[in-house]
Chain A
Amino acid sequence: MQFFGGSEISPSPPAPTASGNNGHMLYVFNRNGICLLYREWNRPLHTLNAQQDHKLMFGLLFSLKSLTAKMDPTSAEKGNLGVPQLPGQGCSFHSFRTNTYKLSFMESPSGIKIILVTHPRTGDLRDSLKYIYNLYVEYVVKNPLYTPGSPIRSELFNTTLDQYVRGIA
């Protein structure tokens, strides 16, 4: 899904010259809309406070998912826009691109949502998000002292994540 034509639009930031500096930020939400993790690497402009920002992001994903499912031309049965969907119903989106950034999105059936915002010219990040989900399992879920649903405070997870994102975007 693309809101604006991808590459010809200007002004657009220069194409990524070397990898390593094109990840902007990453969010991890759980099924209750709680922001478990927010990492930021390159985000000069902050207009909202953190809490509002997280809520806005979650709201955007929620509505966009509902919209994409509603517009699905291949499925005969779909609910009304805004009506909650049962798990397993409806399609979802993988990413959207604007002239200045690309947002990639993954949701597990258990409701973990991973959002990565990168340079608009980054390629398909679906496998990368999946890998980040695996990192989340290894470093967070398997930690017996981590309380499910609470914000993640794990140095090891953060470091690994920073390294990995630097490697892909």
Chain B
Amino acid sequence: MAPVAPRTGDAIFANIERVNAELFTLTYGAIVRQLLTDLEEVDEVNKQLDQMGYNIGIRLIDEFLAKSNVSRCVDFRETADVIAKVGFKMFLGVTASVTNWDAEGTTCSIILEDNPLVDFVELPDNYQGLYYCNILSGVIRGALDMVSMKAEVTWLRDALRGDDVFELQVKLLKQVPEEYPYKDDE
């Protein structure tokens, strides 16, 4: 019998080594601040945060799989559920919910009511275009990429911009079949 995959990340979260939440939040803030100074353009910062997230995501997926006992998901619905219930809990300590499925089951929204990244943060007027948490969309994109799902992740709602919650839209573009990586004549 295969071990039963967890429905929530509570147990794993309890066993994982954690750092002080404030240190984490402020460290992230310092990174964003530095990017704003270095890159000057808000759009460039958004792009850079997404890329940094992607680089984190392609590594994070292995830690996630190793610690969570999650095996292959049968469909994208299960995948989204696992990200929201297990993934977010494991790495951010919060639980997200999944809604707004389209008819094909390829697009959904992940709703984050509680977001530890944005404690202390208020967007000033000159940075209104900034997606402060853009690192998160990159992480999800990178992690999905490593399990052969090409996805597009965009922010639909952002509490820093006056919405009531954070809403990430995850759109599955395609699943890449596993292929033999060598050419015959090599």
Contact = CB atoms under 8 A, between A and B. Distances in A.
A68 to B, nearest CB: 14
Contacts of B63: 137, 141-142
Given A31-B146, A110-B146, A86 B67 contact: no
Contact of B59 (A84, A109, A111, A141): A141
A133 B62 CA distance: 8
A49 B152 CA distance: 42
B62 A141 contact: yes
B12 to A, nearest CB: 13
Contacts of B61: 110
A96 B181 CA distance: 23
Contacts of A141: 59, 62-63
Contact of A88 (B59, B65, B74, B186): B74
Contacts of A87: 72, 147-149, 175-178
A62 B179 CA distance: 9
Contacts of B180: 33, 59, 62, 84
A51 to B, nearest CB: 10
A62 B181 CA distance: 10
User: Max chain A CB contacts within 10 Å: which of B63, B65, B177, B178?
Assistant: B178
Contact of B182 (A31, A55, A108): A55
**A-B pairs with the 9 shortest C-beta distances?**
A33-B181, A84-B177, A87-B148, A88-B72, A110-B146, A137-B66, A134-B66, A84-B179, A137-B63
Contacts of B90: none
A148 B182 CA distance: 19
Interface in B146-186: 146-149, 175-182, 186
Nearest to A51: B186
Given A33-B182, A84-B180, A87-B176, 8 more contacts: A31-B146, A84-B177, A84-B178, A87-B147, A112-B62, A133-B66, A137-B66, A148-B58
B-side interface mostly: loop
Interface of A: 31-33, 55, 58-59, 62, 84-88, 108-112, 130, 133-134, 136-137, 141-142, 148
A85 B177 contact: yes
27 contacts: A31-B146, A31-B148, A33-B180, A55-B182, A58-B181, A58-B182, A59-B180, A59-B182, A62-B180, A85-B178, A87-B176, A88-B74, A108-B62, A109-B65, A109-B147, A110-B61, A111-B146, A111-B147, A111-B148, A112-B62, A133-B62, A134-B66, A134-B67, A137-B62, A137-B63, A137-B67, A141-B63
Interface in B18-77: 58-59, 61-63, 65-67, 70-75
Nearest to B63: A137
B14 to A, nearest CB: 17
A59 B183 CA distance: 11
Contacts of A32: 181
A141 B57 CA distance: 11
Nearest to A135: B66
Contacts of A86: 148, 175, 177-178
A55 to B, nearest CB: 6
Contacts of A130: 66
A136 B72 contact: no
